[in-house]
Amino acid sequence: MSLTPQWLDELRTRVSLSALIGRSVRVQKAGREFKACCPFHNEKTPSFTINDEKGFYHCFGCGAHGDAIRWMTDHQGLPFLDAVKELAASAGMEVPAPDPRAARRAEEQKSLHDVMAAAQAFFVQSLAEDQGAQARAYLASRGFPAATVKDFGFGYAPDSRTALKEALSQFPEAMLIEAGLRIVVEGRDPYDRFRGRLMLPICDPRGRVIAFGGRILDKTKTDAPKYLNSPDTPLFDKGRTVYNLHRAAPASRQSGRVVVVEGYMDVVALAAAGIGEAVAPLGTALTEDQIERLWRMTETPVLCFDGDAAGQRAAARAIIRALPLLRPGHSLRIAVLPGGLDPDDLIKQQGVAAMEAVLAAARPMVEVLWDIERMAGPLATPEDKAGLKARLMAHVETIGDNDIKGLYRRDLNDRFGALAYPQRERPAFQPQQRASAPGGRKGPWQPAPPPIDEVSKAKLQRVGTGEIGPLLAAVVAALAQRPDLIPQYAELLVRLTPTDALRPHVDALLELANSFGTIEKRDIETISGKRQITFPSTASLGKTTFGLFSDAGVDEAILAGAMSLLVEMPLVDDALAEANRRYQAELTVENENEKERLRQRKLALSDQLRQMARTRSAL
């Protein structure tokens, strides 16, 4: 089909976008534009605008943007060509004639749709007849209401090798084979694929039947798969199809969420309980195409998995598939069912409220990724822990968006640090008698007073009174002048806690550290323009350079010491505050010694900082 840009532009100009959107969304006139509550996310105050003159819509809340064709694909769920055809019909335009090969393919697909519709009608009829009694009994045992059974189109495939062929005798057998309804085996006659199974139609976004799923009913057939899906056909690609998408899309616009479960019977169970925005993949792990389709419905779908080992593996596969695709605002959340229960079991045993609680407790991907890798093996040795970090960073490297990659690296490094370097617990001190008089007489134990004299107190008060901020500014200036050094300091940059003024600069350096290849001065200029920031320079620092710069350029030895100082000083501050708290709560010798050790370390770091300042002043 030849759809030129000129023809598509003409189509857009003939379509009243506000009228098109107004068919399913309540719009209001607002000056020369129209406004509405955004249909792509839940909101109470309208931030969705429609401009007929320019031919686009835009939401200032979630960023949804597009023209009439985009509306039909994203909101109505139509494929591109179907969207164009529907708009052209309403605008009185003729779609350009396809070439002969495309016409043949379209005619073949149309004929296959007829085949699938006829097969669905046959399965539904068979369910209502005597031969469908076992299938009806199974549905009754699941407690599905009659309305749910009808809405989802349940049917029954008779336990016969030829029943479907005989019922669809108006179609050539070759078409039944192409539609995946009959199987060809060399040396034998073709036979019906689905036999003695409860049938469930699989539909495209327009609600047309494109495939089937069948559940076996005879438990004695242990050699047959419990569930059987149609093979890939000209109509059906299981890696791109999301089950129940056509029903879930309208429901998700009301609830603001999409729930992804493991199988289509789980979808039916949730729909019967009033959760209509559930969908499922089709016998495979969630694919990249399916994730993208879900993101068209909501920015953060909820993936609901069983709490067993298989569910954990499925969650891991979904996360690995999603990591390279992540982009700002788009992610997945993971909900885990109680062990041994599927959605239907949970609802029957504990009610819909329990299911809603599971979905509400869904966790971000980064938390689940951390838990999966942390529990993947023992962490008894330094080598075990190093292996954990290597696995986590390997996952981080697959993320395509640099901002998200840097944030995942920082989050996972923080979690790893808390695991690998925990605060050590010390046994409580047991007070004992000690010599308290020259004669050696024993007296009750008393804690020594805190050994902080006035001179030490004055020194401590001077620590952190503004020197750390200037030192970080000087380090940022040095790395901007020597960007080739940025990668080797990436791990330390992640651990910094910069001020609000310098946080954008540190984040920019981390983004560069995530890039591949050598970092050059022009990369600093590029990211400065992108983030609209200005890196400190030696001129802006004045004399506050801490000896980092000389006539030869950046002093790498002093830079290394400055980076270590920037990382350690806040950690020592926090540890000393905690030691003081513990000492006040429990006056033990061990707590007193630890507090004194940290105090001395803080004074040493302060002296190191002042020495750098003197080095600066001497230059």
Q: Mind listing the pLDDT tens digit for each residue in 559-576?
A: 888 888 888 888 888 888
198 and 59 inside one domain: no
> In terms of C-beta density within 10 A (0-12 exposed, 13-18 middle, 19 or more buried), how is residue 167 classed?
middle
The stretch 66-86 carries a mean pLDDT of 87
pLDDT of residue 44: 79
Whether pLDDT at 619 is above 70: no
User: For residue 168, what pLDDT band results from cuts at 50, 70 and 90?
Assistant: very high
43 and 134 inside one domain: no
**Calpha distance 476→592 (Å, rounded):** 38
Q: Domain for residue 179, yes or no? A: yes
pLDDT of residue 110: 57
57 and 166 inside one domain: no
**Calpha distance 167→152 (Å, rounded):** 22
pLDDT of residue 321: 93
Residue 30's domain spans which residues? 5-91
499 and 555 inside one domain: yes
**Calpha distance 420→208 (Å, rounded):** 54
Whether pLDDT at 108 is above 90: no
Whether pLDDT at 107 is above 60: no
Q: Domain for residue 55, yes or no? A: yes
587 and 613 inside one domain: yes
pLDDT of residue 109: 57
User: What is the value of pTM for the model shown?
Assistant: 0.58
User: For residue 446, what pLDDT band results from cuts at 50, 70 and 90?
Assistant: very low
Residue range 339-378, pLDDT digits in tens:
778 898 999 999 999 999 999 999 999 999 999 999 988 9
Q: What is the mean pLDDT of the chain?
A: 84
Whether pLDDT at 293 is above 60: yes
Across the beta sheet with 65-66, the strand order is 28-30, 33-36, 48-51, 56-59, 65-66
**Calpha distance 480→549 (Å, rounded):** 12
Strand-strand pairing, 28-30 and 33-36:
antiparallel
User: For residue 448, what pLDDT band results from cuts at 50, 70 and 90?
Assistant: very low
Q: How many CB atoms lie within 10 A of CB 162?
A: 14
> In terms of C-beta density within 10 A (0-12 exposed, 13-18 middle, 19 or more buried), how is residue 608 classed?
middle
pLDDT of residue 460: 37
**CATH number of the domain within which 29 lies:** 3.90.580.10
30 and 54 inside one domain: yes
**CATH number of the domain within which 208 lies:** 3.90.980.10
Q: Domain for residue 419, yes or no? A: no
61 and 205 inside one domain: no
The stretch 89-108 carries a mean pLDDT of 69
Q: Which residues pair with 135 in a beta bridge?
A: none
| HSE-CB for 565 with a 13 A CA cutoff | 29
> In terms of C-beta density within 10 A (0-12 exposed, 13-18 middle, 19 or more buried), how is residue 147 classed?
exposed
Q: Domain for residue 20, yes or no? A: yes
209 and 75 inside one domain: no
49 and 157 inside one domain: no
460 and 588 inside one domain: yes
User: Which residue, of 91, 122, 141, is where some domain finishes?
Assistant: 91
pLDDT of residue 103: 54
Total count of domains within the chain: 3
Whether pLDDT at 235 is above 80: yes
Contact 603, 459 (CB under 8 A): yes
Residue range 513-561, pLDDT digits in tens:
776 567 888 888 888 888 889 888 877 877 777 778 877 788 888 888 8
How many residues are present in the chain? 619
Residue range 146-166, pLDDT digits in tens:
999 999 999 999 999 999 999
| 3-state SS, residue 56 | strand
Whether pLDDT at 494 is above 60: yes
Q: Which residues pair with 305 in a beta bridge?
A: 336
User: Which residue, of 91, 114, 142, is where some domain finishes?
Assistant: 91
pLDDT of residue 450: 44
222 and 74 inside one domain: no
pLDDT of residue 455: 40
The stretch 218-237 carries a mean pLDDT of 87
User: Which residue, of 44, 68, 91, is where some domain finishes?
Assistant: 91
User: For residue 463, what pLDDT band results from cuts at 50, 70 and 90?
Assistant: very low
Two tokens, residue 94: 């003729």
pLDDT of residue 457: 40
**Calpha distance 52→32 (Å, rounded):** 8
Q: How many CB atoms lie within 10 A of CB 135?
A: 23
Whether pLDDT at 5 is above 80: no
Q: Show the CA angle centred on residue 567, arms to residues 562 and 570, nearest 5°.
A: 120
pLDDT above 70: percentage of residues in the chain = 88
Whether pLDDT at 420 is above 90: no
Whether pLDDT at 11 is above 80: yes
Strand-strand pairing, 209-216 and 259-260:
unpaired
Alpha helices in 466-502 (DSSP H): 468-481, 490-495
> In terms of C-beta density within 10 A (0-12 exposed, 13-18 middle, 19 or more buried), how is residue 599 classed?
buried
Whether pLDDT at 454 is above 60: no
52 and 118 inside one domain: no
Q: Which are the contacts of 255, defined by CB distance < 8 A and separation ≥ 6?
A: 277
